Amino acid sequence: MAVTDTTESFDYIIAGAGSAGCVLANRLSAEPGVRVALIEAGHRDYHPFIHVPAATGAAIGTASLNWRFETAPQANLKNRRLPHHRGRGLGGSSAINGMVYFRGHPLDFDDWTALGARGWSYADVLPYFKRSENNLTYHNSPWHGTQGEMAVSHIKKPNPLNAVFEAAMDSLGYRYRADFNAGDPEGYGPRQMNIRNGRRESMATAFLRPVQSRQNLTIMADTLVRRVIIEGGKAVAVEIEQVGAIRQIAVRREAILAAGAIQSPQILLLSGIGDGAQLQAMGIAVQHHLPGVGANLQDHLSAPVMMETANIDSYGLSLKALPRCAWNLVEYILFRHGALASNLFESAAFIKTRAGLDRPDLQLVYQPARKMLKGAPIPIGHGFVLNPVNLYPRSYGRLSLASPDPHAAPIIDPNLLADPADIRPLLKGIEISRRVFAAPAYARYRAVEVGPGAEITSENGLIEYIKDIAYTVNHPVSTCRMGTGAVDVVDAELRVHGLVGLRVADASIFPKMVGGNINAAVVMVAEKAADMILGRPPLNDENRPDPGEFAWARLAQDSDR
């Protein structure tokens, strides 16, 4: 394909219209006198599966909405290739994810500062979490914002099994947490969601749709970013492809990669920015030797405990539940609430698996529905599931190129369970999940454990089960890590080390994994990045919680229940 040059230019070019890109497009285009281009390889967000919360499974299964990546064979998971879902289209992964709003433990961000990311402590980033938030539940909380673009709310009519889960957790001595985002999240309780009036609040609906008619904002959907053009150590243009035609658009101020932890490093590598020897072996001219590009890849791993029951309280399609399912459809059409207005994962718990930890290292995600069959958009039959998630993996992998062709999927190798310590939280999670389901609150359901299965009790048997079934929860981070070390890619202002006019602002810059879902933190990164790009001082939070309320300063005792 021939490359055609163009005189078209923009002050800021944003690669990727996912969570970070939508926020950046909103904030940067609000600045008078600048031209902003937002470039997205996928389509505009018209598909109906995006907007119905319960259709998440269907959205993930739709080829036009999902890049449908998969990992390299995972040596410690019996050489399985795991699905790796990444959203494709305006909103990115926020258009197909579970819609969970959780920021991470406050100590996670204090760790970022300790690792060299000055200005990213929890006290520094809390104002940015609050700026983007329109919390529909907590109106007078110092932990939350109500004036932002992004709706955050609890499920209005949760499944009754959530109360059963809470009763079981209470009977085991765990504490109730009404708000996981108010300091230390340890305990169990309802999750907060990006749902507005019964519809998914993607970052495109929250941040992009209200400003898409701005004259200084150009949104290019169905447009692939092939590479960034570097001349004299400076980003001067971005090469794009539209309907098979390749052209370059000039950058007057900065190019900002916001394509996520998979595709931001891929774009850097395609641009000749990365490990020089590996780039040369791929036939790519080296523009800047930066060996950390693609390194430090981490993701959260889970292995579920699955129960089946004849009781139809859970979400799911069955002959006995058909009348209720029909009502659910009517209820959603008329009132925008009920089962179809839920993400199906309505409650969770954050737990310390051993004494002496300063924060929970395990998340239990409760699903009041049977595990969905492969290829099915909704649960068939009835049951309930607890999904233990190891929040702080010690294993690191790498993102690398499979080909110099921008259309080729990269090699995604999270190197899961490379550190043997990573299996311990999952084993503990299975043990705790079994205790939860054995609690008196669940007795009347007479549920049968179908995974791992009651017959599997030995540690070796459970380890084999984990290796057979474990999957990532699609939280890839840290492939363009922020910091000052030899394998770090961006500085504390998200500028690519050694280059001018090029930043990265998405989950790839996380100095380390956060202890939970990552979308809220990605939005925060983009909020803070916008101020840095525009040269504004950091936000000052006049309604910050009293320091005495920062519960993470106290090490919990007797945490290994």
**pTM of the predicted structure, to 2 decimals:** 0.96
Residue 554 has pLDDT above 70, yes or no: no
Residue 559 has pLDDT above 80, yes or no: no
Residue 557, pLDDT score: 29
69, part of any domain: no
One domain, residues 202 and 175: no
| E strands in 40-111 | 69-70, 83-84, 100-101
Domain final residue, candidates 448, 469, 490: 469
538, part of any domain: yes
Distance of alpha carbon 218 from the chain centroid:
26
> Rounded CA gap, 509 and 482, in Å?
5
One domain, residues 463 and 479: no
pLDDT tens column, 322-367: 999 999 999 999 999 999 999 999 999 999 999 999 999 999 999 9
74, part of any domain: no
> Rounded CA gap, 544 and 144, in Å?
9
Which residues have CB under 8 Å from 266's CB, separation 6+? 259, 294, 399, 401, 410
Distances (CA, A) of 225 to 116, 247, 403, 416: 30, 10, 15, 29
Residue 7, pLDDT score: 63
**Torsion sign (Cα): 15, 262, 94, 551:** negative
Distances (CA, A) of 205 to 63, 150, 217, 479: 21, 8, 16, 27
398, part of any domain: no
One domain, residues 245 and 336: no
Confidence of residue 4 (pLDDT cuts 50, 70, 90): low
One domain, residues 232 and 136: yes
Closest CA to 93 of 299, 246, 268: 299
CATH assignment of the domain containing 499? 3.50.50.60
Strands 305-308 and 383-390: antiparallel
Q: Span 212-232, mean pLDDT? A: 98
115, part of any domain: yes
Residue 105, pLDDT score: 98
> Rounded CA gap, 117 and 485, in Å?
11
66, part of any domain: no
CATH assignment of the domain containing 356? 3.30.410.40
Confidence of residue 372 (pLDDT cuts 50, 70, 90): confident
- Asked about 475 being catalytic, the answer comes back as yes
One domain, residues 464 and 483: no
DSSP classification of residue 246: E
Side chain identity at 240, as an amino acid letter?
Answer: I
One domain, residues 137 and 233: yes
Residue 267, pLDDT score: 98
Residue 378, pLDDT score: 79
One domain, residues 453 and 485: no
What range defines the domain where residue 17 resides?
1-60+85-155+198-294+473-561
Closest CA to 317 of 307, 306, 329: 329
402, part of any domain: no
One domain, residues 40 and 186: no
Do 130 and 152 touch, CB atoms closer than 8 A?
A: no
Backbone torsions φ then ψ of 307, nearest 5 degrees: -120, 145
One domain, residues 249 and 124: yes
One domain, residues 382 and 273: no
Closest CA to 152 of 125, 180, 124: 180
Side chain identity at 202, as an amino acid letter?
Answer: S
Residue 546 has pLDDT above 80, yes or no: no
One domain, residues 465 and 477: no
Of 85, 288, 300, 475, catalytic: 475
Confidence of residue 6 (pLDDT cuts 50, 70, 90): low
Side chain identity at 433, as an amino acid letter?
Answer: S
94, part of any domain: yes
pLDDT tens column, 390-446: 999 999 999 999 999 999 999 999 999 999 999 999 999 999 999 999 999 999 999
Domain final residue, candidates 453, 469, 485: 469
Domain count for the chain: 2
Do 511 and 112 touch, CB atoms closer than 8 A?
A: yes
> Which tokens belong to 413?
């190798």
pLDDT tens column, 90-113: 999 999 999 999 999 999 999 999
One domain, residues 107 and 28: yes
Residue 418, pLDDT score: 98
Domain final residue, candidates 436, 469, 502: 469
